[in-house]
Amino acid sequence: MSISELSLRYGTNPHQTPARVFIEPGQLPIQVLGGAPGYINLLDALNGWQLVRELKRATGLPAATSFKHVSPAGAAVAVPLDETLRRAYFIGEQELSPLAAAYARARGADRVASFGDFVALSDTVDVPTAQVLRREVSDGIIAPGYDPEALAVLAKKHGGKYIILQVDAAYEPPAIERREVFGITFEQRRNDASIGPDILRDRVTADTSLTPDAERDMMVALITLKYTQSNSVGLARDGQMIGIGAGQQSRILCTRLACSKADHWHLRQHPSVLDLPFAEKPPRPERDNAIDLYLGDQPSPDEEAAWLKSFRRLPQRLSAEEKSAWREGLHGVTLGSDGFIPFRDNIDRAAQSGVAYVVQPGHSLRDPDVIAACNEYGMVMAFTGLRLFHH
């Protein structure tokens, strides 16, 4: 049933009442099939839907994103998972449809950050995707449709309170968007910039060769950053984001955060992590947290006590040398930036995380320094001329 207004329990925080979403004129392009969405849920849902819709249009592949607090924790298109990623993402032997593979990749980028995510999917939800999602701690989902069997699976989550939204895939918003801050209305043209292969033509480094996979990953990175709180930098590989640095005040902080997340994603695939002696079937969040502690710095006594309960026996930690050696195996990564890269320190840090391709707006005063740094590392860099700030 189409409606023009939806009342919400509260706004961003519980004390912010009353709250609602509405559209004038016309009908809301979403239907609530399950649960009761909140204010932040809908912000995540509508931003996430735009992201996967654009990824599908740009790549032709089913797309998924895992959203948390109005930024993606992960995003991906449908690329099959190898055995290592199946183990790292806790997929096991389950058969994956293309859409299910996309969501497994989006969720696997940063499993701790994705705890309690809001999922957006570009295609009609099938049973394999619902089965992957059934096991994860998630607040809700938005998609253009649901197979009846898949809807039945999702309707059982959270004791029947899982938020299930169906979006009208044909809906297009007005060209002008508005928001109110402190009683003042802001108005602008919405960010309807199209991102596709044509945007990658201005290649400014000595090496200008891009593989089809690199082009795909550049589009994945740019479209993801288009819906990530700025400043933002993201790293992509094999059709998925593997590290997103969002909402930082300087570009180098974005880069350090994104690269550290990508390093962690890669370390999760180390044989010692895949073979950790977990206790019998610990809950997935406990496994994720235990892996984070295993790969992190020395935990506090309380953290270590909780950590030890996750294992049958005490695992041998990886040394700094072992971690460093494993990180050197990360290659072929694409770095995207929502604003121009102002200093070469971003490139120096990116090189440590296997970045081979860079895509950014360009046109900084220090472009020659940044280009020279890319040439030193043998990277290919494309200028888009398109800033993608999102606030």
What positions carry a catalytic annotation?
68-69, 231, 391
Between the CA atoms of 124, 227, 391 and 349, what dihedral angle is there, to the nearest 10 degrees? 150
Would you give the distance in Å from CA 127 to the centre of its chain?
A: 22
